[in-house]
Amino acid sequence: QLYIERVMVDYIHLLLNSKSEISLGRVINIPDRSLNHIAFTHLKHESQTRGMSMFQTAVSYIMRLRLGGKSYAPDPKCKLNRYVKGLSEFTDLMHKLSNILEDELNPR
């Protein structure tokens, strides 16, 4: 139970501080999304190249894929390409959690 609480705290912390690599590292593969240490390392390198947080890099990467078109598409040689499914699941969950948190903070 303590583990579950810690994971939830890290998800919330990441929502509030998208630059937290520690929280991202703890939750990126919970539940299992096939985003292992190698995927985390590739994401870190890509984020350093882009000058963005790792979380912002993941969101940006998935959004560029979804927008499609040659002008938006990530580089075909990008090492994140093999982790599309896991990164997509992760960013979708974070978006849903963000909406839930926003609804709680701003009830109608």
φ, ψ for residue 17 (rounded to 5)? Answer: -140, 90
User: Between these two residues, 28 and 75, which has the higher pLDDT value?
Assistant: 28
Domain limits for position 101: 2-105
Work out the angle between the directed axes of helices 84-105 and 54-67 (0-180°, nearest 10): 110
pLDDT for residue 104 is more than 90: no
pLDDT per residue as tens digits for the range 29-79: 999 999 999 999 999 999 999 999 999 999 999 999 998 877 777 888 999
Q: Total domain count for the chain?
A: 1
DSSP state of 52: S
The pLDDT score that the predictor gives to residue 54 is: 98
CB 79 within 8 A of CB 42: yes
CB 18 within 8 A of CB 53: yes
CATH number, domain at 86?
1.10.486.10
The pLDDT score that the predictor gives to residue 101 is: 85
CA end-to-end span of the chain, whole Å?
32
